Structure 1
Amino acid sequence: MLSVSCRQLLATIPPNSRNPLYLQHFTFPVIPAASAAVATQVHYAFPHQMLHPASAALIPGSSPASAPCQRELKYATQRLDETILTLQTVQNDMEESRKDLADTKATVGNLTAELRASTSPSSIGRLPSSCADLQVTGYKRSGLFSILGNNNRSSSIDSVYCDFTKSPNDTEFQVLMGSIDVKSRPTYFYVQKNNSFSSMGVPIPFEMARVNSGDDAIRDFDLANGTFTAPRSGTYYFAFTGLAEFPASVQFVYLEVRLLVNGLGVGTAHSSKSSATEYQFNQLALQSTLLLREGDRICLQITGMSDGVFLYDAPDIHHTHFSGFLLEEDFS
């Protein structure tokens, strides 16, 4: 900052309308050098303008006494020039910083979008059936996973080891460990008869259920109608055992019980006998493993019998019984 005496000296400079740079420039004589006979003129620029020789003019009444002010002005001008350069450097640095900040903001935006995409809920629209499907939905860490399997006839749940460090084309990318016994609901029944039965062509009814899956309103096996309705698609196992009562006869007598799916026979149990002396009892049995669709209906019917033959049973005896359960559910 200029001293008071220097500011007073500058205040004595009259306006110069012929010099358009007057308001931005001040000219003053340099302290005479020891070897110079005549003082030379120099000029220092203030903000917004650089040195302009045409605008030079001596400070009126300058004398060696004004030398301190001249030095002060020179130093102030130099400091001003340095400040201007510093400001320009800071401005350039700020511009570079602004560009860097814009680039950083764009990078952060892209990373945020990628993070949201990788962590947002995703779906392939179906149950995953491979490690590749799991990888698409966002799984990155290798480990044991459950997927929809395919055993050529039905789709069960398989346990596989997925090594996500391997390429999907690598044989070690997905390794089958085995099948998992997964059922969306338990399905089973075991029913028994309490009395003999001899009607042909109709489902054999049962009077007692030891176990019967389903809810209180609708059980999977209808005792009165003798019909099981598959609540889920999958592979089922069925077993029937009965006792045939044959009359004394020299002729051939028989009893035939058939397992039907939606009215079509899929298996038959048969028993026959001939005896002229007394009644005879023979056991008949049938086991079957079937692939069913949801809603399929299963029943037993007597499809052939001789006169006087019965499917025998009595209270608390239970020679005739029928059971079934879901082995493997099809999730396809």
Structure 2
Amino acid sequence: MAHFSATHLGLLVMAFWTTCAMAGLPLEGQLQQLKSNLEALQSHVIQLEAQVTSLLRGSQTTAKEILISTDAAVRQTPSGMPRSCADLKDRGHTLNGIYSIMGAKSVETVYCDFSLSTTDPGFQKWIGFADVKSSPTYFYVQLDSHFNQTYVPIPFRFERLNVGGGYNKTTGKFTAPSAGKYFFSFTGMAYFPAGSTSRLYCGIFMYMNGYPISSAFADEIANGEQFETFSMQSTLRLAKGDQIWIKAYNIPKNGYLWRIYNFIHKWNFV
């Protein structure tokens, strides 16, 4: 190592001296000096290459052999998430314990006993699904005024929570930011005015990509002014980009919807 340090020091001293000396030379002289410096550097490089080759020969290992062995090791290293305790064992794991593996559709938790054979029933014990919180998505919104429009997405403009940015309070639509299972819950009240001679009712529909998939109804139970509640829950498997919205229909004249609450929570597995 002392020889290499002395060589590097010599190169630095030479470069510093050359820079100082070239400052007062004309352009032709500077070019000649740079040519001489290049030849000197090439000579030092040849010396360093010879020393490295000598060291490799002394250890009976060539640079080519090192590259071949390194490439082979990289190619033999498994890639991707392990799918079983056997995969973990192949990758060098020896400590018994709880591990995460990739199951058929989701991340799972297993206990691996590496002291047993891979064919032993106790080698791998399934514990359950892993709750991977990589992309949380949930919102809680409210209708902040009386609403009596039908066949249009209800705009829940009072946004209390919108983690993940999936809900658009301007359009009233929720767009799934990622694939997964989503739980939707919708509650509210319908106001029915007095004076009607026929039974009054209204309906609420949940739409997915333009198609109704769930509904809730409210109707009056006696002739006279009154409020009636309605609710709706649904668990859906959505693909990224799927849209969900709520529409009302058949709201009676002078009637309206009020205190409507809408929220969703995404389950953290696909």
SS in 2 for 1:320: strand
SS in 1 for 2:87: helix
**In the alignment, which residue of structure 1 is the partner of 2:211?**
264
Return the letter of the residue paired with 2:243. Answer: R
Contact 1:230 1:294 in 2 (8 A): yes
The count of aligned residue pairs is 207
1:162 is the counterpart of 2:108? no
Alpha-carbon distance change, 255 to 187 in structure 1, aligned in 2, over 3 angstroms = same
**Which has the higher Rg, Structure 1 or Structure 2?**
1
Alpha-carbon distance change, 255 to 146 in structure 1, aligned in 2, over 3 angstroms = same
**In the alignment, which residue of structure 1 is the partner of 2:161?**
211
Q: Deviations for 1:234-292, whole angstroms, at most 9, x for unmatched residues?
A: 1111111111011212311111111122122221111111543x321001001111111
Unaligned runs of 5+ in 1: 1-104, 313-318
1:122 is the counterpart of 2:77? yes
SS in 1 for 2:268: strand
Give the one of 222, 234, 248 matched to 2:180: 234
Deviation at 1:228, TM superposition (A): 1.1
**In the alignment, which residue of structure 1 is the partner of 2:193?**
247
**In the alignment, which residue of structure 1 is the partner of 2:170?**
224
For 2:209 and 2:171, how far apart are their aligned partners in 1? 14
**In the alignment, which residue of structure 2 is the partner of 1:145?**
99
If asked which structure has higher relative contact order (CA below 8 Å, sep 6+), I would say 2
Contact 2:136 2:268 in 1 (8 A): no
Alpha-carbon distance change, 128 to 203 in structure 1, aligned in 2, over 3 angstroms = farther
Alpha-carbon distance change, 265 to 137 in structure 1, aligned in 2, over 3 angstroms = farther
For 1:266 and 1:168, how far apart are their aligned partners in 2? 47
**In the alignment, which residue of structure 1 is the partner of 2:266?**
326
Alpha-carbon distance change, 136 to 258 in structure 1, aligned in 2, over 3 angstroms = farther
Deviation at 1:169, TM superposition (A): 3.2
For 1:261 and 1:233, how far apart are their aligned partners in 2? 14
Where do 1:30-45 residues align within 5 Å? none
Give the one of 252, 255, 269 matched to 1:309: 255
Report which stretch shifted further, 134-143 or 231-240.
134-143
Contact 1:254 1:309 in 2 (8 A): no
Return the letter of the residue paired with 1:225. Answer: T
Q: Deviations for 1:203-240, whole angstroms, at most 9, x for unmatched residues?
A: 110111111013xxxx2110111111111211111111
Alpha-carbon distance change, 224 to 141 in structure 1, aligned in 2, over 3 angstroms = same
Identity across aligned pairs (percent)? 36
For 1:233 and 1:251, how far apart are their aligned partners in 2? 45
**In the alignment, which residue of structure 2 is the partner of 1:292?**
238
For normalisation by structure 1, the TM-score amounts to: 0.56
**In the alignment, which residue of structure 2 is the partner of 1:171?**
121
For normalisation by structure 2, the TM-score amounts to: 0.67
Return the letter of the residue paired with 2:192. Answer: F
Question: Cα RMSD over matched residues?
Answer: 2.9
**In the alignment, which residue of structure 2 is the partner of 1:194?**
144
For 1:263 and 1:282, how far apart are their aligned partners in 2? 27
Deviation at 1:120, TM superposition (A): 7.9
Runs of 4+ off more than 6 Å: none
Compare the two structures and name the one with the higher helix fraction.
2
Deviation at 1:182, TM superposition (A): 1.0
For 2:266 and 2:239, how far apart are their aligned partners in 1? 12
Contact 1:259 1:298 in 2 (8 A): yes
Return the letter of the residue paired with 2:236. Answer: L
For 1:229 and 1:123, how far apart are their aligned partners in 2? 37
Deviation at 1:137, TM superposition (A): 3.7
Alpha-carbon distance change, 239 to 190 in structure 1, aligned in 2, over 3 angstroms = same
Return the letter of the residue paired with 1:122. Answer: T
Deviation at 1:156, TM superposition (A): 2.8
Unaligned runs of 5+ in 2: 1-59
